[in-house]
Amino acid sequence: MTYGLPFGLIFALAVSQAQNPWDKIWTGLGKNKGLSNETVVSGLKEALPIGSGNAVSLNGKVDGYFKNAAIKILMPEKLKSLEKGLRLAGQSRQVDEFVLSMNRAAEKAAPFAKDIFWGAIKRMTFSDATRILKGGDTAATDYFRGATTEELTTAFQPIVTQSMESIGVTRQYKVLASRYNALPFVKSQAFDLDRYVVDKSLEGLFYVLAQEEHKIRTDPAARVTDLLKVVFGK
C-alpha cells in the first residue's frame, strides 16, 4: 500500500475545511488505521528539508545577511560608542567595512547548518512530529531551534573565527578599537566579537527559516515538490 497519498488527502481535507487545521489533521491521522506512526514521521521528514534548505541557501549566499535588513548584523550595542567616536573622527569607511565583514563571516558559516538540520530531521521522533503537526506556523522552526542551537553554535564558532580572520574582520576590529582607544577621554571595552557574530548568524538563520516555513504552509507557489503540493494543497 502507498501511504503518502492517504496522508496527503487527509492533510488537504483538513486544511480546506478547518479554521485550525492542525487539530483536525491529527484527529484524521488517528482514525486512519492504515497509517503508522512511522509513516507520519516519514512524511514530515520529506517535507522539512525544503524550508530548511531554502533558509540555508538564502542566508549562505553573498549579501544573504548584508542586504537583508531584517537580519543584517550591525555594530554591537556595546560598541555603539566606538562607532560614534570613529565616525566623528572621520573613520566611517572603516566602520562600514567592519560591519560588512561581520556579515560576510555569517554568510560563509550559514551553509554548514544544512547537515545539522538534516541530522535533526533524521532524529525526529513521533512526539516531535506530533508537536509540529499540532503547532502553529513556525512549529517546525521551533523544533529546529530547540534541537540544533547548541550544535550549530559549536559548529559555527570555529567557522566564523576562521572566516573572520581570513577576510580581515578581526584585524579591522582591533585597528578600529585601537584607534578609538587612542582618542582622548575614551574608556576601553572588552567584547567577544566571535560569539556576537555566531549568535547573530543563528538568529538570522532561524528568522529566515520561520519565513520559509510560513511560506510553504500558506503559499502554493512555494510547494515545489509533488509531496508538498499533495500535503499542503487544497
H-helix or E-strand spanning residue 219: none
Residue 25 CA to residue 158 CA, distance in Å, equals 42
At 76-125, the pLDDT tens digits run 888 888 888 889 989 898 889 889 999 999 999 999 999 999 999 989 88
Residuewise pLDDT in 10s, the chain (234 residues): 444 433 333 333 333 333 333 344 434 444 433 445 666 666 677 778 888 999 999 999 999 999 999 999 999 888 888 888 889 989 898 889 889 999 999 999 999 999 999 999 989 888 888 788 777 889 999 999 999 999 999 999 999 999 888 888 778 777 777 776 676 766 666 678 899 999 999 999 999 999 988 887 787 776 666 655 655 554
How far is it, in rounded angstroms, from Cα 93 to Cα 104? Answer: 16
Q: Which three cell numbers stand for residue 233?
A: 494543497
Q: For residue 204, give the nearest of 24, 29, 37, 63 by alpha carbon.
A: 63
pLDDT for residue 94: 86
Could you list the residue range(s) of the whole structural domain that residue 152 is in? 4-232
What pLDDT was estimated at residue 160?
A: 94
In sequence order, what are the residues at sequence separation of 6 or more whose Cβ sits closer than 8 angstroms to the Cβ of residue 31? Answer: none
Length, in residues, of the chain: 234
Model pLDDT, residue 120: 94
Q: Considering its fold, how many domains does the chain have in total? A: 1
CA atoms within 13 A on the CB side of 224: 10
Q: What is the distance between the alpha carbons of residues 223 and 228, in angstroms, rounded to a whole number?
A: 5
Tell me the percentage of the chain whose pLDDT exceeds 70. 72
DSSP state of 221: G
- Residue in the block written with cell 496527503: 8
pLDDT on residue 4: 43
The amino acid occupying position 226 is: D
